[in-house]
Amino acid sequence: MNSEVDRLLYKIIESGKMENFSEVECLFSNSQEYQHFLLFLQDNIKTDYGGKFLHYYDMFALLGDTYDFDNLAHLIKGLTIVENNKRMGSTSPVIGLYSKLVEKAGLLYLRTGDKGGIYLLIRHLADKPNKALEDITHWIFKYSENPYLPFGISTLNSRTIPNIKIELEIWMQRQGEIATKEENQKKENEERKNQREIEIENYDKEHQSKNVKQRNYRKYLNSLDTSQLLQTIISDNERPIYFYANELNNIKLESIAEENKEIIRELLKRFKQFENGQLRRLQARLASIVE
């Protein structure tokens, strides 16, 4: 580590240890100067680890490896005060250093980007209390102006371990309800999809069956002579007249017996007053037969 970097880190640690921050508050005159220090610090960490590429938080977690629990806590305190009014947000090195501090305390914690990782820590703290970690956590909440400290998220409303526990239990319950709702919705969607596929399959079968029946019925009609055809049509009270348009159009005028003209007159009564062009032509053709 560069001697100048070591000197500055030592000064920040000492300020945290003594809780006398008057000197470090003026250590960096503005955000740009502090950012320059952090970049210089990162370069030194990379050099110490052979130039290996590291995530921003992991880089500062490695820096935390070089200190024991107490000195790391002092460094976190000092940096917390240094960063006030510098708008570091989620890029604060305190976030990575704090995760290392939790690890040194022998507790479980994951930076998940939401409240899930914090919930893991709070549950572990309930099973394995650690006053030193709880104290530094409360201290950060009290003195930091950065809403992202120490966990790296800004959506946590509570500022004490007990209240955080209550907030996260409510959040976890809500997450469970949301997950259950999403799972139920997924099942409903899947059931609707399956039902729709069954309906489509049944419709296709029914439609195919109707087509087969209709083709067979058409073949039957084609097998009839004119008299039988007209008698079949006039006896059909289910199908509309336009169903037989092709058969009626194909009737040969010379094949119309006198006794069938009365049937045609009855068929003409089934035409509506205003039919489309094709049916009007058929209507006119049949009318010409019985004139």
Q: Where are the domains of the chain?
A: 3-156, 224-290
Alpha-carbon 47 to chain mean position: 41
* pLDDT value at residue 124: 93
pTM of the predicted model, to two decimals?
0.67
Mean pLDDT, the chain cut into blocks of 10 residues (291 residues total): 84 94 87 91 84 79 93 97 92 94 92 88 93 97 95 93 95 94 94 92 88 91 91 91 89 78 88 74 85 75
Per-residue model confidence (pLDDT) at position 259:
82
Q: In the prediction, which pLDDT does 158 show?
A: 94
The Cα 217–Cα 184 span in angstroms is 48
Q: Residue 275: its pLDDT value, please? A: 63
pLDDT on residue 33: 92
What is the model's pLDDT at position 278?
Answer: 81
First to last CA, the chain: 115
pLDDT at 51: 72
Residue 274's pLDDT is 55
Residue labelled with tokens 């994951």:
110
